Structure 1
Amino acid sequence: MSSQRPVIVGVDGSPASLGAVRWAADEAVRLHRPLQITHALGVSGQNEPAPDEHQLAVQAAVEARTSQPGLHVTTGTWQGGAAQVLVEQSRHASLVVVGSHGPSGFVALPVDSLGVQVAAHAHCPVLVVHDAQRWADPAAALPRHGPVLVGTDGSDNAQLAIELAFAEAASRRADLIALRAWQEPPHRWGFAASRDRLADNARQALAADLEPWRAKYPGVRVELRAVHGAPAPVLLAESRDALMVVLSPRGTGGFDELRLGSVTQQVLDHASAPVLVARH
């Protein structure tokens, strides 16, 4: 991967997109990458762009340079829907950052569809920053404390998430919590498996998943958690104190034609912490 692949962030002039710009600028510095600010004008021919449309991206660039002096920032304004433009540009990016407007005060409502669409179809990792308007004000400090939480189920896709989570934790000098949810299998022939044995098996499998990455990142302090319960509710509960949640797009139950697994979809919809979706 070329060292010039930028971090890309989409802006629309909302406070949430400005908060996403600050997260993206922080990630760009952390990854030693340039930052590209992208504004999509909507479907071609549907609306007439205003003469000052590009000024919106330029203003976001000023905010990025203010928060991270010395950061190389470029801007672009493109015809097309926001998801379409960001997914296409992700082919040449190291990371795409999308700010969510949040659930409009109703915790039962899912996150904006833009973050889900981009996470489902992008060609690089995608960071969805929930309620990003919290960081629109330059005086609002980005979170520096708390662990990086990664969910793993033993699938090949989960290895992508584990690698990305270790890299994030190392760059932030943060702890890493590796989580594996387990449930009792259906009883067969009237015999129920021991819960202690199931928990121990899950913990051992989790340790095996992390072994190569612990050797590569010896400075990252890791906590293993094998938790009883369905994966999505367990991840959402554990994410409340996390700095960031890292997930793969699909787990062991995924179908190739489905772009996002149900667990990732649920966490994207309802997590309060930023969610980083690992993609090739």
Structure 2
Amino acid sequence: MTPPADAPVVAALGSPETAPQVARLAAREAAGHGRPLRLLHAFNWSAALEDPSVVGPRARAEELLEGAAATAGEAAPAVPVSGEIVEGAPVAVLVRRSESAFLVVIGDGGMARCGACIPADAPAVQLAARAGCPVLVVRPEPPPQGPVLVGVDGSRSSRTALAFAFGCAARRSARLLAVRVVEPPP
């Protein structure tokens, strides 16, 4: 499915620690694709009700959006930026939004520090498995130099992923490495 021409890049703002990196990279991706940027924070009312004041968590969410918008504006001044606080569980909210997005950008949730493991319950993993558009996972440090890597299996969705990966590689003047994994016969 081809996204509409005005489909935004959606930046998932989780924590104040990762929001600037996510906003910066999402703004650059939006600029590179000629797309608007939509900053999104999923707000959990049940957790907010446990706080001494409901006003505090909501105010922190608004500050998070304002700071991320400023960071995005510095990274890509020509990109239109909007923000929204949405009630709900982050992964469920992002999966719904991915159906009308061009790209969703999310922090790695600490996976880069996990060594040899990739926790299946990490939000970035859950989103990547269920999203209706490509997902870009932001690491805390810049990625190492190397090719753009894409997994293919011959399905329609993998052909879509391959086309997206070709575009990413071309914009970065990088090589493209397509990998197909097959199980050996019993």
Q: TM-score, normalised by structure 1?
A: 0.56
Q: Structure 1 residues 106, 92: closer, same or farther in 2, change over 3 A?
A: closer
The equivalences for 1:247-258 within 5 A come to none
Aligned counterpart, 1:118 = 127
Instruction: Say yes or no: does 1:64 pair with 2:72.
Output: yes
1:177-218 deviation per Cα after TM superposition (whole angstroms, max 9, x unaligned) = 2233456534xxxxxxxxxxxxxxxxxxxxxxxxxxxxxxxx
Structure 1 pair 78/157, CA: closer, same or farther in 2 (3 Å)? closer
Q: Could you tell me whether the CA contact under 8 Å between 1:15 and 1:133 is conserved in 2?
A: no
Per the TM alignment, residue 108 of structure 1 is displaced from its structure 2 partner at its CA by 3.6
Name 1:47's counterpart in structure 2: 48
Offset at 1:162?
A: 1.2
- Determine helix, strand or coil for the equivalent of 2:180: strand
Give 5+ residue unaligned stretches, structure 2: none
Secondary structure at the residue paired with 1:15? Answer: coil
Q: Distance in 2 between matches of 1:47 and 1:25?
A: 29
Once residues 17 and 154 of structure 1 are traced to their aligned partners in structure 2, the CA distance between those partners, rounded to angstroms, is 35
Task: Give the whole-Å Cα distance in 1 for the aligned partners of 2:151 and 2:78.
Answer: 35
- Runs (4+) of structure 1 exceeding 6 A deviation are none
1:174-213 alignment to 2 at 5 Å? Answer: 174-181=174-181, 184-186=184-186
Superposed CA offset, 1:42-71 (max 9, x none): 1x4442442412121110110111122222
What SS is found at the alignment partner of 1:70?
A: coil
Aligned to 1:163: 163
1:148 counterpart = 2:136: no
CA distance in 2, matches of 1:27, 1:34: 10
Matches within 5 A, 1:1-280: 1-42=3-44, 44-48=45-49, 49=54, 50=56, 51-52=58-59, 53-103=61-111, 105-111=113-119, 113-129=122-138, 132-134=139-141, 145-181=145-181, 184-186=184-186
Cα deviation for residue 87 of structure 1 reads 1.5
| Secondary structure, aligned partner of 1:92 | coil
Q: What letter corresponds to residue 47 of structure 1 in structure 2? A: A
Query: 1:240 corresponds to which residue?
Result: none
| 2:176 maps to amino acid | L
Find the structure with the greater CA-based Rg. Answer: 1
CA contact (8 A) 1:147 1:175 kept: yes
Compute the displacement of 1:157 (Å).
3.2
Q: Output the CA distance in 2 between the equivalents of 1:45 and 1:115.
A: 22
Question: In 2, are the aligned partners of 1:150 and 1:179 still within 8 Å (CA)?
Answer: yes
> How many angstroms does 1:163 deviate by?
1.3
**8 Å contact 1:17–1:133 — kept in the other structure?**
no
Partner-residue secondary structure (3-state), 1:71: coil
The answer to whether the Cα contact below 8 Å between 1:17 and 1:100 also exists between their aligned partners in 2 is no
How many angstroms does 1:105 deviate by?
A: 3.7
- Kept in 2, the 8 Å contact 1:9–1:37? The answer is yes
Q: Taking structure 1 as reference, are residues 4 and 183 closer, same or farther at Cα in structure 2, changes over 3 Å only?
A: closer
User: Would the alpha carbon gap of residues 117 and 184 (structure 1) be closer, same or farther in structure 2, given more than 3 Å must change?
Assistant: closer
Amino acid at match of 2:174: A
TM-score by length of 2: 0.81
Letter in 1 for 2:156: D
Q: Percent identity?
A: 36
